[in-house]
Structure 1
């Protein structure tokens, strides 16, 4: 590859995660592997949707990336710099550039603070604004998220769920970040409000050139907002591909089952897509089975699945899958 092209591609990558692990001690001897050797990268202005069942490690992965949790092992690079080695002003700059929108708009806002104080709290750390400048900035941010300036003097308990989440978005934007972890930002909202919040996030992304990690259970909404989609199962990434590629051509049996569960309202063809029902229970993350973690629920399980844990490999251009069957059908077949 031409060195100039390679340098441009590397400069375009804002976040890179290599073999990221986050384990928690449970009792004296047991270990819960919440995030287990996750690899991914994000370019500036992209949105990566992260999906999977509850407890699969999506939120822990996002929080570990932004250093809310210290990783057990692995490395996170932000704008080419190893996050684990950042100190002093460099660490403060990283915390300014990486923000989070929390899942619960009811619990994430301090009930004792006014909305203006909540939004401007980060400004007090990262900027030297006068009180007048802060008030103007808060009013501008409230306007950006679809609320009037008068909300600055209200308290969180006076607002609806959708309004509170808009405050959470304004708070994240207040320090002018480059990367935002959206941790299931619509799951606690009414269905009628969810689309409004997602469309607001898309609009703000275009305006400010933001990069998102969008964590959600809602596969339809992830399809609407994401450029790339990663599928996690029991702490591991099992499939990672471009939006259209993953939804139109899912390869991992788990991804196929998730996508088959999306409600289909297109009745013009009269055809109904196959609904794949998974059998069995999700294994314990404290004591996972040997080999592939998904094999106990997989209809294609083979002998090798019980012996070796599949690695995430590129089976098609920019399409990565952790599955022995996919590896046989695509990678080995080409060889």
Structure 2
């Protein structure tokens, strides 16, 4: 595919955090990912696997320990001044917690228009009109502009968070578990709203979540993370219908089914043991301590994250021979 079709190209991305004497937590460890313009890439995995840290590092909320991040072909680490300001305008975030991410001292109108003061050269009247339009876009009345965050429900607050992210006309939005703090009845509404806005505005999403059913609904491709690294990356259809990595298989099998009869007969892949400490991960394959297929080789060699089928990448020694066990 033409390089111009990629909005982000991430190569060997690492983010390490110091933890005591000469110890580091490898929160993100060697991520390679290309995100096409207009697509949604889902990022899944257990809590603590590094999903959010990966997303925040990609958009430069965290400085990477090493690796290269290209945004529309430009090296993000070399952006300064106006080019850096332009990058911050083009890349926005919808945060996980709608209660903590909105300033309680500001009106909803002030929250949404805050970024406009920095990035858009428009009059106050135009800002007010734009705030009203954005509120309508996310399913709220224009009168909400005069309210405060504490007067809104969780779902309404998250809609405000979406409006704030859209306010500066971004190209890319990192959705950091945007539905995990919401009632189940509201989650589908928010996800459907994100899909609708993407079609209308040509947005690109990185959708981070541990809700695999919602990720399946919204994503074009899905990456599975375990202890800071990718173990599998494939299209939505392929990953959910034919998962290859044992960890992915366990995650997919845990998705609940609406049909109680089918759910009661469904076979689940159970994982033994606990997630290892990121301070002291296992040698070789990080997943080997919980994998029923683990061999001596898994303890000695780190599996290469490689393409085993067209556009289907897996990091597992089981698939070293043309994608077959």
Q: Say if 2:256 and 2:263, in contact at 8 Å, map to a contact too.
A: no
In the alignment, which residue of structure 2 is the partner of 1:80? 73
Please state how far the C-alpha of 1:328 moved relative to its aligned partner.
3.6
The separation in 2 between residues aligned to 1:269 and 1:85, in whole angstroms, is 53
Give the superposition deviation at 1:330: 2.1
Indicate the residue corresponding to 2:34 in structure 1. 41
User: By how many angstroms is 1:268 displaced?
Assistant: 7.9
Equivalent-residue separation in structure 1 for 2:322 and 2:61 (angstroms): 40
The answer for the alignment partner of 1:67 in structure 2 is 60
d(CA) in 2 for partners of 1:270, 1:18: 40
Q: State the TM-score, normalized to the length of structure 2.
A: 0.98
- The answer to whether the aligner puts 1:188 opposite 2:188 as a matched pair is no
**Matching of residues 155-174 of structure 1 within 5 Å:** 155-174=148-167
How far apart are 1:267 and its partner, in Å?
A: 6.4
Name 1:277's counterpart in structure 2: 270
Structure 2 counterparts to residues 90-129 of structure 1, below 5 A: 90-129=83-122
Equivalent position SS for 1:330 = coil
SS in structure 1 at match of 2:232: strand
User: Gaps spanning 5+ residues in structure 2: where?
Assistant: none
Deviations 1:175-231 (A, max 9, x none): 000000000000000000000000000000000000000000100000000000000
Partner of 1:313: 306
CA distance in 2 between partners of 1:305 and 1:317 (Å): 24
> Structure 1 stretches of 5 or more lacking a match?
1-5
Aligned ranges for residues 291-310 of structure 1 at < 5 Å? 291-310=284-303
Shift of 1:308: 0.6
Q: Which residue of structure 1 lines up, in the alignment, with residue 124 of structure 2?
A: 131
| The one of 215, 220, 224 aligned to 1:227 | 220
Counterpart of 2:134 in structure 1 is 141
Matches within 5 A, 1:242-253: 242-253=235-246
Normalised by the length of structure 1, the TM-score is 0.95
Looking at structure 2, the residues matched to 327 and 202 of structure 1 have their Cα atoms a distance apart, in angstroms, of 37
Note if contact 2:257-2:263 (Cα within 8 Å) is conserved in structure 1.
no
Report how far residue 130 of structure 1 moved: 1.1
Q: What corresponds to 1:290 in structure 2?
A: 283
User: 1:129 deviation in Å?
Assistant: 1.4
- Distance (Å, rounded) in 2 between the aligned partners of 1:68 and 1:267: 43
C-alpha spacing 1:126/1:41, structure 2 compared with 1 (3 Å): same
Give the distance between the partners of 2:78 and 2:303, measured in 1 at CA.
31
Q: Size of the alignment, in residue pairs?
A: 325
Out of 54, 66, 84, the residue aligned to residue 47 of structure 2 is 54
